[in-house]
Amino acid sequence: MLGGTQWLGGEVARAALAAGHHVTCLARGSTVPSGARMVRADRDDDQALAAVAGRRWDAVIDLATAHGHVRRAARDLAHADRYVFVSTASVYRDLSQAGITEDAPTYPPLDAHAMDSMEQYGAAKVSGERAVIAAFEPDRFAVVRPGLIGGPGDPSGRTTYWPLRFARPANGSVLVPAAELPTSVIDVRDLAAFLLALAEGTASGTFNAVGRSLPLSEHLRLARAAAGHDGPLLSAPDDWLIAHGVNQWAGPRSLPLWLHDAAALGLGAIDNSRALAAGLSLRPLADTLRDILAWAAASGIEAATGSGLTASEERELLAALTSSFPGASPPSWGK
């Protein structure tokens, strides 16, 4: 594994070890799952893979973002039997429409050696895909394009925010977006299992590894049910949220998963039929949300970090909302 010390990489390594594989993780980090061999290397170094390049590998799983890292790996590990590259659904040039397939147009590959900003993330991943495709025969590689990854341990806070907020609401009430839009989450454990299956098997090509598409209201309803919340809900329209400085999708002072930008509304409704046919198995979202709460309880975590509103921010917004709309009512799904 090129990686293995962070969230998704750790899940893949643990799944591979549990299946009886010998796992080597090459990364800059220092912590790998128990039983895996650690090779510490900085992939910015052109000779970073020297310690592993001379061995034969049944499979390589590469989680790199920097396309220069992927080019070097494809060069130095081209003798591997299988190569699985973890790309992203952000490679698609137009995410405004539902039903995007693997054949949809992508961004041009990034020519620069490294990204200047996250706005180039999709183009950098396209460059990585091209490097893999150029180095391996069609039956020896798989490119996987995940959408939103979630589940226990989510370091971004995007999928932990809602179950934890419903479990510990500010003053009993929860602020939710009024807008209806599609959303999808793939459980990190399901994605890890799919990556391992591709490394072990013969399915090749490019795959959209995304979760089932559900309305945001259904996601929130399931999160609320998982947390056992029966307190008040107040829904706010998009324009009001934007005017009050609430951010979309992720990050500080956001309502995670909520999108107002029409250019990204298809992100929650990408076609995953090719991945399902290749063996992707998806657990129910309700199970993922319940497992997030169990993980948080076991870890002593009371609120999501990385994304969402703080309790004080939510209280301020709830007060402002009831002042703006004295008759504000809960969404129909929360009544």
Place of tokens 């599609």: 182
DSSP letter string over 5-63?
Answer: SSHHHHHHHHHHHHTT---EEEESSS---TTPEEEE--TTSTTTTHHHHTS--SEEEE-
- 240 vs 334: which has the higher pLDDT: 240
Calculate the CA dihedral of residues 260, 267, 308, 319 and round it to 10 degrees: 30
pLDDT higher than 90, residue 112: no
Mean pLDDT, the chain, rounded, equals 94
When pLDDT is averaged across residues 109-132 and rounded to a whole number, the result is: 83
pLDDT score, position 329: 66
In this predicted structure, the answer to whether residue 59 has a pLDDT above a threshold of 90 is yes
Q: What gap in Å lies between CA 99 and CA 102, rounded to an integer?
A: 10
Q: Give the mean model confidence (pLDDT) for residues 124-141.
A: 95
- Please compute the mean of the pLDDT values over residues 295-299 and round it to a whole number: 97
Stretch 195-215: mean pLDDT, rounded? 97
Instruction: Report the pLDDT averaged over residues 247-263.
Output: 96
CA 294 to chain centre: 20
Residue 332 has what pLDDT?
A: 72
- Give the rounded distance of the alpha carbon of 14 from its chain centre: 18
Whether 186 and 282 have beta carbons less than 8 Å apart is answered as: yes
Task: Identify the three-state secondary structure at position 189.
Answer: helix
pLDDT higher than threshold 90 for residue 257 = yes
pTM exceeding 0.85: yes
Residue 296 clears pLDDT 90, i.e. is over it:
yes
pLDDT attached to residue 295: 98
Residue range 303-309: average pLDDT? 95
* Position 297 confidence tier, pLDDT thresholds 50, 70, 90: very high
Per-residue pLDDT tens for 17-51? 999 999 999 998 778 899 999 999 999 899 999 99
Q: Is the pLDDT of residue 164 over 90?
A: yes
Structure tokens at 12: 């893949």
Sign of CA dihedral 133, 135, 136, 137: positive
Query: How many other CB atoms are there within 10 angstroms of residue 139's CB atom?
Result: 11
pLDDT the model gives residue 18: 97
Distance from C-alpha of 10 to C-alpha of 182, rounded to nearest angstrom: 29
pLDDT for the residue 134: 95
Task: State the burial class of residue 181 (Cβ atoms within 10 Å of its Cβ: 0-12, 13-18, 19+).
Answer: buried
pLDDT greater at residue 44 or residue 197: 197
Q: What is the pLDDT of residue 324?
A: 81
Please check the confidence at residue 216 and state whether its pLDDT lies above 80: yes
Q: What is the pLDDT of residues 150-160, one digit of tens each?
A: 999 999 999 99
The CA R_g of the chain, rounded to the nearest whole Å, is 21
Question: DSSP string spanning 109-158?
Answer: PP-SSS-SSGGGHHHHHHHHHHHHHHHS-GGGEEEEEE--EESTT-TT-T
Q: For 80-99, what is the mean pLDDT?
A: 97
228: Cα separation from own chain's centroid: 26
pLDDT for position 114: 63
Render pLDDT for 178-189 as a digit per residue (tens, 0 to 9): 988 999 999 999
Question: Is the confidence at residue 105, as pLDDT, over 90?
Answer: yes
Q: Are 42 and 28 in contact (CB under 8 A)?
A: yes
Asked whether the beta carbons of 49 and 76 are under 8 A apart, the reply is: yes
Give the three-state DSSP class for 69.
helix
Maximal CA-CA distance, the chain: 70
Token pair 């299946």 is found at 19
Does position 304 have pLDDT exceeding 80, yes or no?
yes
What percent of the residues of the chain are helix, what percent strand, and what percent coil, each to the nearest 5? Answer: 40, 15, 45
**Strand, helix or coil at 254?**
strand
pLDDT at 328: 66
